[in-house]
Amino acid sequence: MIESRDGRRVVVTGVGVVAPCGTGAEEFWAGLARPAEPAVVRRVPDFEPEQWGLARTDCRRLDRFAQFAIAAAGQALADAGLLPAPDVAGALSGTDSERAGVLIGTGIGGSLSWERQALIREEKGDRAVSPLTVPLVMPNAAAAAASMRWDLRGPCETVVSACATGTHAVAGAARWIAAGRADLVVAGAAEATLTPTNLAGYSNMRALSQSGISRPFDVDRDGFCVAEGAAVVVLEEAGHAAARGARVYAEVAGAASTADAHHLTAPEPTGRGALACMRLALADAGVPPGEVTHVNAHGTSTRLNDEIEARALRELFGEPGPAVTSIKGVTGHAQGAAGAIEVVSVALTYAQRELPPTMGTRKVDPAFGIDVVLEPRPWQPSPVISNSFGFGGHNGTLVFLPAA
């Protein structure tokens, strides 16, 4: 990365995920190629926090979004060889706690707890409200819980930037490592906002699919399917990872963030913010556009978002450009967690040497001029970009390279 100090490189050494299509890397990857049942609301099925080492007292103190984050983080740390199992708490092996950080974001935070306590107050009065309400709903609850659970005493922060949150969290963590602030960071995002009030708000915005089918870049796309979930990756300085013999999925080579400065929910119609973000990220990584072979797209299945993203991709790469995949056809749109879930997808794409399909899409909009992957496709590891674009005009792009 251009901002690197002393040539410090950043690599992904562990992944964890909680998603509607599967929890854990193996189930998640298999789920990406499995058609999803039509559902405008995509929940994580059969999530049991006790399975991830969370005691009953832990669950009373952690909203569902933070429980998801701890489950995903435990998976990632175990996958990286830093814990004996995902449900184990305690200090990490082979790592200085003072040099290990946490950057776990969320788009909204503990809205389930907030809505529940608001109803309790309405029905039973002020004295019935839990004294844990504020720590349950605060957006930094997941990051704080992870730092305490695994004695991570380096930088510990939270980023909140709507649907770009997960991408921004991974980017920020990579910059900590590149700048020498940490040797290892647990990074990602979590979201669990499927409350009656939030769902009514999404519905009244007319952003949701009427068919319950997410069709990214399809000529018949009709809106997104709202989801919950979490994903966390372990990022390490390359020398730190090599010294302990860690397996490396990929290198985080570049990142960028821009703003549309246009509208609270709609993307800027020319795609200039998305285009600038991708160009800056590629410049940060020192990667020419012609070397990119895969784009993990934001691809929400909304009329405007897909059109604007396709326009920016076409201007940057030409036609047809790199292979484009959106996994939201299966996962739905997990809002603040979406970008982090897609980072796990990218890491597994490198491991599997295969591009996942854009499920739900039948006929790509002919006006787009991009190469949308509709069936699993063999792939030779090479540069990848991953995009996230959020409400408020937040844009985020990450650039990945194959493990050296």
The one-letter amino acid code at 76 reads A
Mean pLDDT computed over 343-351: 98
- pLDDT 10s digits, 331-343: 999 999 999 999 9
Question: Alpha-carbon distance 396 to 276, whole Å?
Answer: 10
Question: Alpha-carbon distance 12 to 28, whole Å?
Answer: 18
- pLDDT 10s digits, 299-312: 999 999 999 999 99
Q: What six digits make up the tokens of 194?
A: 């499927």
Q: What angle do CA 278, 280, 284 make, to 5 degrees?
A: 115
CB 217 within 8 A of CB 310: yes
- Tell me the CATH number for domain 1-404: 3.40.47.10
Q: Is 168 a catalytic residue?
A: no
Mean pLDDT computed over 241-256: 97
pLDDT score for 165: 98
Per-residue CA distances from 176 to 83, 103, 190, 211 (Å) = 22, 10, 20, 42
Residue 378, judged by CB atoms within 10 A of its CB (0-12, 13-18, 19+), counts as exposed
- pLDDT 10s digits, 284-295: 999 999 999 999
pLDDT score for 404: 80
The one-letter amino acid code at 248 reads V
Does residue 3 register a pLDDT over 90?
no
Please tell me the pTM assigned to this model: 0.97
pLDDT score for 160: 98
Question: Of residues 168, 240, 294, 333, which has the active-site annotation?
Answer: 333
* SS3 assignment, position 22: strand
Question: Of residues 168, 240, 298, 394, which has the active-site annotation?
Answer: 298
Q: Is 156 a catalytic residue?
A: no
Number of H helices, E strands in the chain: 13, 16
Q: How confident is the model at residue 252 (pLDDT cuts 50, 70, 90)?
A: very high
Question: Alpha-carbon distance 138 to 212, whole Å?
Answer: 31
CB 41 within 8 A of CB 211: no
Least confident of 132-136, 210-214, 233-237, 266-270: 266-270
CB 112 within 8 A of CB 61: no
Q: How confident is the model at residue 375 (pLDDT cuts 50, 70, 90)?
A: very high
Percent of the chain with pLDDT over 90: 96
Q: How confident is the model at residue 1 (pLDDT cuts 50, 70, 90)?
A: low
pLDDT score for 265: 86
Q: How many CB atoms lie within 10 A of CB 153?
A: 16
Give the domain ranges of the chain.
1-404
Mean pLDDT computed over 373-379: 98
Q: What six digits make up the tokens of 402?
A: 């194959």
Question: Of residues 21, 156, 163, 225, which has the active-site annotation?
Answer: 163
Q: What six digits make up the tokens of 301?
A: 């299945």
Question: Alpha-carbon distance 312 to 370, whole Å?
Answer: 10
Does residue 112 register a pLDDT over 90?
yes
Per-residue CA distances from 162 to 74, 197, 261, 286, 395 (Å) = 24, 17, 15, 28, 10
Q: Is 163 a catalytic residue?
A: yes
Query: Could you tell me which of 154, 156, 109 has the C-alpha nearest to residue 134?
Result: 109
